[in-house]
């Protein structure tokens, strides 16, 4: 801890966030995660300029293995569509679902958790009963119902995933709020005339944010897997190319051509790994015990 | 209420718990009928063991815990019946300094902002003068104003407590409630803070409600002392009378238990209290101290003694004094 | 009396982000059998680290004993093997900590924890170990020891838990007991009970006790001799009476003078407390001179040049200060 010991030395001010950023840069896992994510993003967003092939177009014989022809370097799927093009064009949709579902999860989770933890009593009881209701629902089933009720567009899929996965975040937020609301600086804020709204959003939330950010990165990974699961069951958006869709569509041909599902699977694996490594790094960065010296 | 009384608390009760859906209601009688008053510009010390309700009393004075019964008056405002905006407005007159210098400052804000916040929230002074006011507050508590842009974790415990004092002084309060403000500090730092508090009191005419379990500190700082046991005041008197002529058996035991920083001579006989304080959930009938009292009589276990004046305003509650 | 534990020129370094921190700087101490030695000083001065060094528990990395010896009856514990240290800990030297809740395992009955400790060091049957546990609980003044032995730590109050810790520490009849701020977390009335208990046990068993505290009052109450620490150094040591009534180091004087002592007959006259100005220096930024120099009112030029060594001013009293004579004369 950098305590100002003597009054002679002018010390530069170090915001806790900046210290966390410094710690993150020193975290091996976090930096590797960032590196992986950058690779994935470059691959899917810059890839189309170098490899302008339509992933829906049939270009070669079905189930051509990787390396068999120059037209499809990573082979073709059961319709004869280019796998490499699929991998490149499937990225944005997958990342979109991950991020949007992640944001929905975090938003609902924080709102519910914050109010429950801050107001306690009846508000808490009520919100926690709702949270429990969502938690005991079989998530995948519920998402399937939502998606089949509406047309399975990418928005509906993101929303469905977000709606089924917020309870964990809500519980985490609530626990943090319950802890922090008893710290003396919250009472201090109240005694200098701060209103509840200010205490919730400006005093408690910033201090509760560290574990929530870690949870958020993990949520994105989970959402991506969820989307893959839905697509695998044929409940993804059929008009958007995603890695999940590739796996879902190719699942019957896994014995005839391992590459049809393995390659998009590998991309999902990389992305999820990237997000969880970043989550790990953030955890290190925010954990003052590890950061101390 | 006399002319120069600043804080008057009457029959204050704070009970926690109750109303449980599936569990048996367990009511914690944290503060159970406490009355005291503090004259303007003076200091009332509250002493007592852990769990006796000192912090709860302090929080109640600022309306930071729900009050079960009783009235609290600061100046001519009855703060115990105020709500919302009026309460916010009234809080300007009373501020608090907390025990833990590590958890009483928001770790994510610069200390300058922490001290400035009450000025902004309470709309004190002109916007453009506030930086200067923060500067002056820092000087007042003995911190270099250049340090305002740092974060709490960059300060030592004593410095943080100075920041806490600066924040409390920002609204120009008349009453400052101090909940064990020096308990977490080293003795050398404690002396600095105690001197600072005295100096501020002299300069600004502050009134303190000072909570502590350290009798030496209380004797040094306070003009009046109240001794709490299990949510009630068992003895209350001015400083000299209480320490030189303690009346209640609990006060006597408390004073005897304090280690004296001079060599043992082997002649002193100390009868330490046995056992621990009972819980404020299942209160004993009769005198609350009866279970540990070395001189208890039969009556003590059935009838609660009343807090009565034993001469010159020295209050104590014990059957043996009746 | 012979010294059973003697520490010589012990140096402990910690690697930190801000540089090397010399947490203990050429500490020398002697503990005689059957005495109570107090170690006082402000937070961070190295009291706990002294205790951990003796127990062979310096967290490493980042810490390391870089010099000196700790000899127990002539055996150097710094050089001792891990296996040997395990025997020493609990068997010959045992320790109790400040926070009794965190030092007891919450999922086991306290009786089992004491018995376990006995079984670790002695070759006796389980039943005998349990009997010893109950006996120890009786000794530390716990009412209904047979019943309380079956309790879990959270079912006991803070004072009770500290008694259990003491019972556990003494269960193998150690020759040295180190108590690191054993009463800081307790109320005064309970603290007084623990002091009396330690005093009685010490007289009864002859165990030597190292009592670590920041409270001069606790020292006066218990200790035969005192060592005062400042920023990793021992700056004064001697008989309790001498240190309290005739302190010679400027820091010790300041430390004693700044505490508001409880008077039996207070008067209206209340002078301000005397203060030690400034703050404790950071261990990574100690200069080559006396560690107390930046705060010392008696400082002379040599103080900032070279660190004073601790030297005897009489048979039992040692001080690390160049200007003792001047300080005492003032
Ligand atoms: N929010 C709460 N809910 C339930 N019980 C509470 C609450 N706050 C305090 N208590 C209980 O009320 C009693 C009095 O607590 P309080 O904190 O006022 O004691 P204290 O005298 O300040 O003690 P200490 O010296 O340990 O700070 C205790 O038994 C405590 O457990
Ligand atoms: N893991 C560590 N890394 C670096 N420095 C450490 C570590 N543990 C302790 N220290 C430093 O060692 C010094 C001595 O610590 P020690 O715990 O012995 O102090 P103490 O005198 O027992 O204080 P207290 O009264 O607070 O218990 C302190 O300045 C502390 O900052
Ligand atoms: S009333 Fe009885 S039990 Fe209570 S303090 Fe007096 S003598 Fe003791
Ligand atoms: S050596 Fe010098 S600086 Fe150090 S304590 Fe003595 S007089 Fe003060
Ligand atoms: Mg308290
Ligand atoms: Mg320590």
Q: Is the pLDDT of residue C127 over 60?
A: yes
Angle between helices A154-180 and A139-149 (to 10 degrees): 140
CB contact under 8 A, B188 and C265: no
Mean pLDDT computed over A19-40: 88
Distance between CA atoms of residues B171 and C162, nearest Å:
44
Query: Quick one: pLDDT at residue B207?
Result: 95
The 10 Å Cβ neighbour count of residue C245 is 11
Nearest CA to ligand 1 atom 1: B16
Query: Quick one: pLDDT at residue B194?
Result: 94
Residue C230 CB less than 6 A away from ligand 4: no
Placement of tokens 């046991």 in the chain: B229
Backbone phi, psi, residue B211, to 5°:
-105, 135
Select the residue from B187, B216, B223, B277 to test the C interface by mutation, using most C Cβ atoms within 10 A: B187
Handedness of CA B214, B220, B221, B224 (dihedral sign): positive
By C-alpha distance, the chain A residue nearest B85 is A193
pLDDT digits (tens, 9 = 90+) for B308-318: 898 888 999 99
Chain A residues with beta carbon closer than 8 angstroms to that of C17 = 293
Q: Is the pLDDT of residue B321 over 60?
A: yes
Superfamily of domain B5-243: P-loop containing nucleotide triphosphate hydrolases (3.40.50.300)
Strands C208-213, C233-239: pairing is: unpaired
Quote the tokens at residue B156: 């030592």
3-class SS at A140?
helix
Task: Give exposure, B103-127, as e/b (b: 16+ Cβ within 10 Å).
Answer: bbbbebbbbbebbbbbbbbbebeee
Query: Quick one: pLDDT at residue B269?
Result: 53
Distance between CA atoms of residues B43 and C294, nearest Å:
35
Of residues C320 and B123, more confidently modeled: C320
Distance between CA atoms of residues C215 and C226, nearest Å:
12
Q: Is the pLDDT of residue A143 over 90?
A: no
C88, C135, C130, C94: which is closest to C113 by C-alpha? C130
Chain B residues with beta carbon closer than 8 angstroms to that of A14 = 150-151, 154
Lowest mean pLDDT among A171-180, B223-232, C100-109, C269-278: C100-109
Distance between CA atoms of residues B159 and B165, nearest Å:
10
Distance B8 CA to ligand 5 centre (A): 21
3-class SS at A43?
helix
C17 vs A3, A5, A293: nearest CB: A293
B204, B197, B155, B160: which is closest to B177 by C-alpha? B197
Q: Is the pLDDT of residue A3 over 60?
A: no
CA B57 to chain A, closest CA, distance in angstroms equals: 14
CB contact under 8 A, C285 and A5: yes
Bridge partners, B308 (sequence order)? B316
Q: Is the pLDDT of residue A34 over 90?
A: yes
Distance between CA atoms of residues A188 and A181, nearest Å:
11
Distance between CA atoms of residues B46 and B254, nearest Å:
13
Largest CA distance in chain B: 68
CA C18 to chain A, closest CA, distance in angstroms equals: 8
By C-alpha distance, the chain B residue nearest C187 is B49
| Mean of all residue pLDDT scores within chain C | 87
Q: Which helix (H) or strand (E) holds C256?
A: helix C250-257
Q: Roughly how many angstroms between the first and final C-alpha of chain A, as a whole number?
A: 7
The CA-based angle A42-A46-A49, given to 5 degrees, is 160
Classify domain C3-329 by CATH architecture: 3-Layer(aba) Sandwich (3.40)
Query: Could you report the predicted ipTM of this complex, rounded to two decimals?
Result: 0.85
CA dist B145 to A10, B160, C88, Å? 11, 14, 53
- Chains touching C by CB (3 or more pairs below 8 Å): A, B
Distance between CA atoms of residues C231 and C23, nearest Å:
7
Distance between CA atoms of residues A71 and A75, nearest Å:
8
Residue A197 touches chain C, beta carbons under 8 Å: no
* A18-291 CATH pick, 1.10.3720.10, 3.40.50.720, 1.10.10.10, 3.40.50.1000: 1.10.3720.10
Mean pLDDT computed over C132-136: 90
In contact, A96 and A88? CB cutoff 8 Å: no
Distance between CA atoms of residues B263 and C126, nearest Å:
44
Contacts of C264 (CB under 8 A, 6+ apart): B243, B244
> How does residue B263 score in pLDDT terms, banded at 50, 70 and 90?
low
Distance between CA atoms of residues C8 and C70, nearest Å:
6
Contacts of B158 (CB under 8 A, 6+ apart): B101, B185, B186, B189, B192, B193, C279
Q: Which helix (H) or strand (E) holds A121?
A: helix A121-136
CA dist C133 to C107, C127, C138, C201, Å? 17, 10, 9, 16
- Measured in residues, chain B has a length of 322
Lowest mean pLDDT among B23-27, B315-319, C293-297: B23-27
Placement of tokens 């005998």 in the chain: C128
Mean pLDDT computed over C118-143: 87
The 10 Å Cβ neighbour count of residue B203 is 9
Residue B271 touches chain C, beta carbons under 8 Å: no
C47 half-sphere exposure, CB direction, 13 A CA radius: 26
pLDDT digits (tens, 9 = 90+) for A224-256: 888 888 887 877 777 778 888 888 777 778 777
Ligand 2 atom at shortest distance from the alpha carbon of C214: 25
pLDDT digits (tens, 9 = 90+) for C54-90: 998 888 778 889 999 999 988 999 998 888 888 888 8
Backbone phi, psi, residue C184, to 5°:
-60, -35
Mean pLDDT computed over B11-20: 81
């Amino acid at each position: 801890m950098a305590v100002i010991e003597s009054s002679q030395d002018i010390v530069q001010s170090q915001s806790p966030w900046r210290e966390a950023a410094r710690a993150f840069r020193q975290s091996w896992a976090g930096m590797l995660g960032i590196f992986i994510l950058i690779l994935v993003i470059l691959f899917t967003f810059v890839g189309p300029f170098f490899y302008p092939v339509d992933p829906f177009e049939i270009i070669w014989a079905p189930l051509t293995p990787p390396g068999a022809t120059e037209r499809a370097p990573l082979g073709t799927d059961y319709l004869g569509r280019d796998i490499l093009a699929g991998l490149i064009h499937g990225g944005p949709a997958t990342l979109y679902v991950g991020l949007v579902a992640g944001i929905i999860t975090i938003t609902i989770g924080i709102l519910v958790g914050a109010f429950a933890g801050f107001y306690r009593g009846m508000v808490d009881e009520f919100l926690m009963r709702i949270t429990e209701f969502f938690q005991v629902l079989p998530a995948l089933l519920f998402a399937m119902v939502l998606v089949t009720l509406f047309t399975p567009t990418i928005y509906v899929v993101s929303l469905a995933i977000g709606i089924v996965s917020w309870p964990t975040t809500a519980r985490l937020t609530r626990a943090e709020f319950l802890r922090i609301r008893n710290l003396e600086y919250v009472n201090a804020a109240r005694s200098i005339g701060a209103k509840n709204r200010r205490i919730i959003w400006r005093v408690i939330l910033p201090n509760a944010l560290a574990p929530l950010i870690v949870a958020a990165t993990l949520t994105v990974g989970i959402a991506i897997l969820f989307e893959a699961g839905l697509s695998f069951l044929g409940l993804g958006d059929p008009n958007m190319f995603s890695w999940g869709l590739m796996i879902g569509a190719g699942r019957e041909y896994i014995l005839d051509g391992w590459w049809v599902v393995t390659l998009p699977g590998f991309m999902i694996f990389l992305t999820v790994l990237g997000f969880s490594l970043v989550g790990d790094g953030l955890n290190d960065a925010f954990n003052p015990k590890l950061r101390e010296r | 209420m006399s002319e120069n009384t600043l804080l008057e608390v009457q029959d204050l009760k704070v009970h926690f718990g109750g109303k449980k859906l599936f569990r048996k209601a367990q009511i914690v009688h944290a503060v159970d009928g406490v009355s005291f008053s503090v004259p303007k510009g003076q200091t009332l010390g509250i002493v007592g063991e852990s769990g006796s309700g000192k912090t709860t009393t302090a929080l109640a004075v600022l309306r930071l815990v729900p009050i079960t019964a009783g009235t609290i008056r600061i100046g001519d405002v009855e703060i115990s019946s105020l709500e919302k905006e009026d309460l916010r407005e009234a809080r300007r007159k009373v501020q608090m300094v907390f025990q833990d210098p590590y958890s009483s400052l928001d770790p994510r804000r610069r200390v300058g902002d922490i001290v400035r916040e009450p000025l902004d929230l309470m709309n004190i002074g002109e916007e453009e003068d506030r930086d200067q006011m923060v500067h002056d507050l820092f000087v007042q508590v003995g911190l270099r104003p250049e340090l305002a842009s740092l974060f709490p974790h960059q300060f030592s415990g004593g410095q943080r407590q100075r920041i806490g004092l600066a924040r409390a002084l920002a609204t120009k309060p008349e009453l400052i409630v101090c909940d064990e403000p020096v308990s977490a500090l080293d003795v050398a730092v404690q002396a600095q803070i105690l001197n600072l508090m005295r100096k501020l009191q002299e300069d600004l005419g502050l009134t303190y409600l000072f909570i502590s379990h350290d009798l030496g500190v209380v004797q040094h700082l306070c003009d009046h002392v109240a001794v709490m046991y299990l949510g009630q005041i068992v003895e209350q008197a001015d400083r000299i009378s209480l320490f030189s002529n303690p009346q209640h058996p609990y006060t006597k035991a408390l004073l005897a238990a304090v280690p004296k920083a001079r060599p043992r001579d082997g002649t002193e006989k100390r009868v330490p209290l046995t056992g621990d304080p009972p819980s404020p959930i299942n209160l004993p009938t009769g005198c609350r101290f009866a279970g540990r009292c070395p001189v208890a009589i039969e009556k003590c276990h059935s009838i609660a003694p009343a807090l009565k004046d034993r001469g010159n305003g020295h209050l104590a509650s014990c059957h043996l004094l009746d | 009396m012979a010294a059973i534990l003697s520490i010589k020129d012990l140096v402990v370094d910690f690697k930190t982000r801000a540089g090397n921190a010399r947490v203990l700087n050429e500490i020398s101490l002697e503990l005689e059998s059957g005495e109570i030695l107090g170690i006082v000083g402000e937070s961070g001065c190295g009291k706990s680290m002294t205790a951990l060094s003796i127990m062979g528990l310096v967290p490493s990395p980042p810490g390391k004993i870089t010099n000196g010896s700790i000899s127990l009856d002539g055996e150097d514990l710094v050089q001792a093997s891990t296996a040997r240290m395990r025997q020493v800990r609990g068997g010959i030297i045992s320790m109790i900590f400040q926070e009794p809740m965190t030092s007891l395992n919450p999922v086991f009955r306290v009786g089992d924890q004491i018995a376990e400790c006995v079984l670790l060091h002695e070759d006796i049957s389980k039943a005998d170990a349990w009997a010893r546990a109950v006996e120890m609980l009786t000794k530390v003044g716990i009412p209904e020891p047979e019943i309380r032995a079956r309790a879990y730590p959270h079912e006991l109050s803070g004072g009770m838990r500290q008694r259990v810790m003491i019972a556990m520490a003494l269960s193998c009849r150690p020759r040295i007991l180190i108590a690191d701020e054993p009463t800081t977390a307790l109320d005064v009335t309970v603290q007084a009970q623990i002091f009396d208990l330690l005093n009685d046990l010490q007289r009864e068993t002859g165990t030597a006790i190292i009592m670590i505290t920041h409270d001069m009052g606790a020292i006066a109450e218990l200790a035969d001799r005192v060592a005062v620490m400042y920023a990793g150094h021992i700056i004064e040591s001697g008989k309790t009476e001498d240190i309290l009534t005739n302190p010679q180091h400027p820091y010790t004087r300041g430390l004693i003078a700044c505490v508001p002592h409880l008077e039996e007959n207070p008067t209206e006259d209340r002078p301000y407390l005397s203060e030690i100005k400034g703050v404790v220096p950071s261990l990574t930024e100690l200069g080559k001179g006396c560690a107390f120099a930046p705060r010392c009112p008696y400082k002379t030029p040599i103080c900032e040049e070279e660190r004073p060594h601790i030297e005897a001013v009489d048979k039992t009293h040692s001080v690390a200060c160049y200007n003792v004579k001047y300080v005492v004369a003032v």
